[in-house]
Structure 1
Amino acid sequence: MKKTTINTLLVLILTGLAFSCDSEENKKGRFLLKGNEKMEENDPKSAMGFYREALEMDSTYADAYYNKALAHLQLNQLTETIQDLSLAIRYKPDYYDAIFQRGLGYLDNGEFYNAREDGKKLLLLDDKNWKSYFLKGLVEEKLKNFPEALNAFTKASELNPKNSDLLVNQATILYYQKDFAAAQQVLNEAMDINPLEPNLHNLKSMIYFDEQNYTGALDAVEKAISLDKSQAYFYNNKGLYLLFLDRQEEALDLINQSIKMDSKNPFALRNKGIYYVMKGDKISALQYLVELNQDFPDMDLVEEYLEKAYTL
């Protein structure tokens, strides 16, 4: 249920350049721009071919490594993305955008302390850029340092007040801290900026669920799904709410759909365990809940429903 609502805002800003004469510098620049054209055509594989051509001419060409990294990212090749970003930074140590993207990549790869180091570098390079604090907030959230995360997201929002995602980030941390009233207040501010932000409505649904307003939770998550049908955890949350509205079979279909979309979400496995407890199937419930209780002892509802499973 509580998969983070934080949107990492991967704005893939390609680096380009202008040129006029046929120097060696401009020849490699042409390959860079041809690669960028392919990226705009949503053809990252062809784009990488042009970036490689540029790198054959200059193996220290930081912009080509950076753009090639973004092509890998489009193909969900996270290891290659981080490798190319690291090369871009090797040859251009103050490359802000490359450090930012690598920090996000480290986060997605579970390398939280490497991401923290990149966050520190960004703050040294530019402590007036909202992205410096945004990355810091994401790292501290992953490390469960919630006060530090909230301070960082608040600072990012002060620097970029029209960005509704940053407000949703703040509300997410307040939700983790169980300050539901403050979270709702921040979400209302985000609504004023962008009422069509799906993560906003998903987070509202999670607050309603914790307040035992299951109908409100269902309505809110259905709004999130109507705005973005690609998020597995939206369907999983809807499945959870349906379980508590005594619509177990509908719930199971959605939970299974979520697992097909993202098999690594432990909250979906927990919800299957809850389903089997509600159906009185002790053996199946224990298959899910025992391991989850070992691996995620702080996950909400796991201990409660494990105890219920043992009493079946």
Structure 2
Amino acid sequence: MKKTIKILTVAAASAFIMSCDSDESKKGRFLLKGNEKLEENDPKGALEFYAEAIELDSTYADAYYNKALAHLELNQLSESILDLSLAIKYRPDYFDARFTRGLNYLDNGEFYNAREDAQALVKIDGQNWKSYFLVGLVEEKLTNFSTALEAFEQASLLNPENSDLLVNQATIYYYQKDLEKAKELLTNAMEVNPMEPNLHNLRSMIYFDEGNYVEALSSVEKAISLNNSQAYFYNNKGLYLLFLDQQEEGLALINQSIQMDEKNPFALRNKGIYYVMQGDRVSALQYLVELNQNYPDMDLVKEYLEKAQAL
């Protein structure tokens, strides 16, 4: 109750100052206050100010866009997509809103909606590397690897100092089992930015495929030291520990990864592998049978399903 009174008092005190202001200047002020709250790591407070701006102008695209960013800070993906859609509705050529919505669609598993945004970005600004970056991410998810690679290469031509784009290209070559080309691109990325965590994670995956589990573990630990918020880094570390005969430590990291991202099928595969190593046929089949149905081309699934069935 005291908080409500305080807000009313502040509003009353500023009413005279703002009485001569236009709605245009008022909404801009609310937008700036919202931005300050975001910078202070207070997304809920930011949402209140953005809502005030929108109340003054229901077509205020910038307020919808920034409001979407605040929702993202709160892990409210659906709400963020809704606000970005409103920003785009009122400003169809809003590049940043379309780019962010495309990334959100990818995170939400809406790959074809993300593709529409990516194609729109190329039309809006065909000289912006982000347009092709989003195209590449979408086509990678849709397993159109040749198209994804072309898009990442185009993005890299437009932004040659971006190590992420080299890692993206290396990832596609990794999927295509061209490990030598992937390693070559990772070497180039190291020269641009040796502190890129995804670079070290991908290098760990290549080491694992080559049977070098010690180096795989070392590389993924480097990735985690640079970015400790990625679930798949912990999942990979857990997998490598399984193959280094540290099964319980590996399982703990795989479970941690699942808690961070329950949608990752690779973590479920790794739990299946753990149970095969433990000789637990029933638990292993619980994971591997369904994965084999849904992801028949996933590495190690068929191999460990056969091992589980033989237990």
- Normalised by the length of structure 2, the TM-score is 0.91
1:282 paired with 2:284, answer no
Which runs of structure 2 are paired with 1:33-72 in the superposition (5 Å)? 33-72=32-71
Change (3 A) 1:277 1:60: same
CA-CA distance at 1:123 after TM superposition: 0.8
Deviation per CA, 1:55-97: give whole Å up to 9, x if none.
1111111111111111111111111111111111111111111
Deviation per CA, 1:154-195: give whole Å up to 9, x if none.
111111111111111111111111111111111111111111
What is the Cα-based RMSD across aligned positions, in Å?
A: 1.2
The whole-number CA distance in structure 1 between the counterparts of 2:104 and 2:238 is 30
Which runs of structure 2 are paired with 1:1-312 in the superposition (5 Å)? 22-312=21-311
Deviation per CA, 1:213-257: give whole Å up to 9, x if none.
112111111111222222221121111112222222222222222
Flag the structure with more relative contact order, 1 or 2, with Cα contacts below 8 A and sequence separation at least 6. 1
The percentage of counterpart residues that share the same residue type is: 76
Q: Which amino acid aligns with 1:173?
A: I
The whole-number CA distance in structure 1 between the counterparts of 2:66 and 2:250 is 42
Question: Which structure shows the bigger proportion of residues in helix conformation?
Answer: 2
Q: Which amino acid aligns with 1:220?
A: S
**Structure with bigger gyration radius:** 2
Unaligned 5+ runs, structure 1:
1-20
Q: Which amino acid aligns with 1:295?
A: N
SS of residue in 2 equivalent to 1:264: coil
- Normalised by the length of structure 1, the TM-score is 0.91
Kindly report structure 1 stretches of 4+ aligned residues shifted beyond 4 Å: none
The whole-number CA distance in structure 2 between the counterparts of 1:141 and 1:34 is 39
Greater Cα shift, 223-232 or 203-212 = 223-232
The whole-number CA distance in structure 1 between the counterparts of 2:247 and 2:51 is 53
Deviation per CA, 1:255-293: give whole Å up to 9, x if none.
222222222221111111111111211112111111211
Unaligned 5+ runs, structure 2:
1-19
CA-CA distance at 1:203 after TM superposition: 0.3
The whole-number CA distance in structure 1 between the counterparts of 2:34 and 2:251 is 45
